[in-house]
Amino acid sequence: MTKKPGKKKYNAQKVMRGYLMILPVLLGLLVFFIIPFFQNIFYSFTDLNSFGVWHPIGFDNYKELFKDPNFYAALKNTIKYTIFTVPLTVIISMSIANLLNKNIKGVGIYRTLYFLPAVTMPAAVAMIWKWIYNGQYGLLNQLAMIFGGEPRAWIADNDTAMWCIIVVGVWMGLGMNIVYFLAGMQSIPKQYYEAATLDGAGEIKQFFTITIPLIAPTLVFVLTTSLIGSLQVFDIVFMMISKGSPALKSTQTIVYLFYQSAIDFGRKGYGAAVATVLFLIIITFTFLQLKIQRKWVNSIAN
């Protein structure tokens, strides 16, 4: 007669040891994320200024925000950046990861080169690209003149400034996404590809019928993180576009508007309202994306 396993005895020491192990992370989340998050929401209902003086003003900041043309211009620029950056980054990084997953000569060197943007400081990246786009001695203008083109102030022109920012954003987003896709592709059993080859399927067909369905969870993760990152873009714009540039209006993002309101103008309460609205936008977009993609992943898997 076998003895039935009883309920596990509650071990207070093990539980306390577990809480002690995660205590540093919990404290970090509490001090740097959770408390500031609720402080930001609270200050968005005040007129907090640079001197730390505040008075409750209700929804006045939000009323002003939704009447502010600068907010809608920044929202438009942010959405434009997101619409072009996210799909391009995902498609290019997935294509490169598929190539790096092959047995090609010097694959380790290529992987290192493509990963460099991910470990390079955004400020350094922005300064390099700012030099490339320079209207007087930039590399892009030098190449344009070699092929008979005319020099142009790329990041000072309203027609080209945002496109220049998008190019930099795509380039910076490739490295880490390539690593994610490559990890997903390397987890796919080789037998699937061997069987598909025996059935006469080419590489393109294998990519769409084997690779993409099996890395669908990775694809969802990359799309979600890329979306959140693009909606929070700030450092590229801040480093590449000067405050007195005529192209600032066409490149100003919501986070830049928050920085400008809270730091440059000292209106921290209004800046807190901008940050809160951005949080709601990110949550909404992320929720919709995950809901749509969950159905898409399930349909592919079936």
In angstroms, the CA 127 to CA 239 distance is: 7
More confident residue, 299 or 86: 86
pLDDT(4) > 60:
no
Which of 61-65, 76-80, 151-155, 275-279 has the least mean pLDDT? Answer: 151-155
pLDDT(221) > 80:
yes
More confident residue, 12 or 31: 31
Q: Which residues have a Cβ under 8 Å from the Cβ of 30 and sit 6 or more positions away?
A: none
Q: What is the pLDDT of residues 65-107, one digit of tens each?
A: 999 999 999 999 999 999 999 999 999 999 999 988 887 777 7
What is the predicted pLDDT for the residue at 111? Answer: 76
State the pLDDT confidence band at 2, using cuts at 50, 70 and 90: low
Q: How many CA atoms lie within 13 A of 242 on its CB side?
A: 8
Report which residue type is found at 168.
V
State the pLDDT confidence band at 301, using cuts at 50, 70 and 90: low
pLDDT(201) > 60:
yes
Token code pair at residue 53: 């003086």
- Rg over alpha carbons for the chain, rounded to the nearest Å, is 25
Mean pLDDT of the chain: 88
pLDDT(144) > 80:
yes
Question: Percentage of the chain with pLDDT > 70?
Answer: 94
DSSP structure string for the chain: -PPPP-PPPP-HHHHHHHHHHHHHHHHHHIIIIIHHHHHHHHHTTB---TTS---B-TTHHHHHHTT-HHHHHHHHHHHHHHHHHHHHHHHHHHHHHHHHTS--TTHHHHHHHHHHHHHS-HHHHHHHHHHHT-TTT-HHHHHHHHTT-----GGG-TTTHHHHHHHHHHHHHHHHHHHHHHHHHHTS-HHHHHHHHHTT--HHHHIIIIIHHHTHHHHHHHHHHHHHHHHT--HHHHHHS-TT-TTHHHH--HHHHHHIIIIIS--HHHHHHHHHHHHHHHHHHHHHHHHHHHHHHHHHH-
State the pLDDT confidence band at 114, using cuts at 50, 70 and 90: confident
pLDDT(297) > 70:
no
More confident residue, 64 or 51: 64
Contact 276, 44 (CB under 8 A): yes
Token code pair at residue 165: 């920012």
What is the predicted pLDDT for the residue at 84? Answer: 96
Q: What is the pLDDT of residues 17-55, one digit of tens each?
A: 888 999 999 999 999 999 999 999 999 999 998 888 999
pLDDT(9) > 70:
no
More confident residue, 284 or 4: 284
More confident residue, 12 or 236: 236
What is the predicted pLDDT for the residue at 217? Answer: 86
More confident residue, 251 or 118: 251
In angstroms, the CA 176 to CA 172 distance is: 9
Which of 5-19, 21-35, 173-187 has the least mean pLDDT? Answer: 5-19
What is the predicted pLDDT for the residue at 1? Answer: 47
Q: What is the pLDDT of residues 121-134, one digit of tens each?
A: 888 888 889 999 98
